[in-house]
Amino acid sequence: MNPNLEILPFFDEATNTASYLVIDKATNTAAIIDPVLDYYQRSGKASVDSVNKMLSMARKKEATIDWVLETHVHADHLSAACVVKRESGARVGIGEHVRDVQKIFRAVFNAQDVSASGAEFDHLFKDSERFNIGSLEVEVIHTPGHTPACVAYKIDDAIFVGDTLFMPDYGTARADFPGGDARTLFRSIKRLLALPPETRIFVGHDYKAPGRDRFAWETTVGEERTSNPHVRDGISEDEFVAKREARDATLSPPLLLLPSIQANMRAGGLPPAEENGVRYFRIPVTLTSEGAKHG
């Protein structure tokens, strides 16, 4: 374990999201992973309370934030990447396959301002790319399956896996979003679980598995391989796919799916203001035969 690596978790209970402030104590250089913008669906208002806690801690630690690292284009909360960038000058990075996500959802939302080239982000990481947070070396691991653009960030003995993998008593991420695939997800997870058993895993969400009364976000490769009900040792790829697809068929879309995708494919930015100076999220409407009965 690197004595210069400090990891400070921040948990947003409203969206069940774990964000992380990672500090290199040797240089007082930092990165923020998956920051949350507070968004209130009923009113359409947003605040920066959650991300301000992270920024305040960075100031308290006298750390300079160099990076905002997104593990993927989140579908369940709005990213505060643009807030961190504005306040600190940090670069915003994400996996290079964000282009695939932008292409899918640019059409869904008729978002003509979205480049579909990843230009909204400052850096697009390739699989196995390495970069630094101060003296800390970071390895990027492409982990598609939940979305095409998912990546994990490995720093020394710690890895930040986003939504790819959850706590070992809960399971794995859904794979039914556009561009997702259960078989691809299984292979991505197995790549992570090939790391040494003592490797610390920091997950992107927690929902309190049945029988657990507290939120948790840190586990290990060894614990996942022993206990995860979806991918523990001995579960085959076909078994996983069958279980994952059956589970996904029962899940509702995330509450903040539509606004989240629109902001997050813009690196946490909001859609451009319209002629009246107001910014709007677009809500595509599909009239189904079932809907027609009630409409």
**Rounded mean pLDDT of 258-268?**
97
Instruction: Give residue 50's pLDDT.
Output: 97
pLDDT tens digits for range 18-77: 999 999 999 999 999 999 999 999 999 999 999 999 999 999 999 999 999 999 999 999
In degrees and rounded to multiples of 5, residue 39 shows phi and psi of -130, 130
∠ CA 187-191-195, nearest 5°, is 155
Whether the CB-CB separation of 268 and 276 falls below 8 Å is answered with: no
- Coil vs helix vs strand at 262: helix
Q: What is the mean pLDDT of the chain?
A: 96
Strands 130-133 and 136-142: antiparallel
- The residue segments making up the domain with residue 20 are 5-275+282-294
Distance, CA of 247 to chain centre: 20
Instruction: Give residue 290's pLDDT.
Output: 60
pLDDT tens digits for range 115-157: 999 999 999 999 999 999 999 999 999 999 999 999 999 999 9
pLDDT tens digits for range 41-53: 999 999 999 999 9
d(CA 265, CA 260): 8
Instruction: Give residue 286's pLDDT.
Output: 85
The number of domains in the chain is 1
Residue among 148, 71, 146 at smallest CA distance from 102? 148
The answer, yes or no, to whether residue 285 has pLDDT greater than 60, is yes
**pLDDT interval class at 1 (50, 70, 90):** confident
Query: Which residue has 């939120």 as its token pair?
Result: 215
Q: What is the CATH number of the domain that holds 214?
A: 3.60.15.10
The answer, yes or no, to whether residue 85 has pLDDT greater than 70, is yes
Whether the CB-CB separation of 153 and 33 falls below 8 Å is answered with: yes
pLDDT tens digits for range 159-212: 999 999 999 999 999 999 999 999 999 999 999 999 999 999 999 999 999 999
Please give the torsion angle defined by the CA atoms of residues 97, 103, 109 and 110, in that order, rounded to the nearest 10 degrees: 150
Q: Which residues are 159's β-sheet partners?
A: 154, 201
Helices 81-88 & 49-60 angle (0-180, nearest 10)? 40
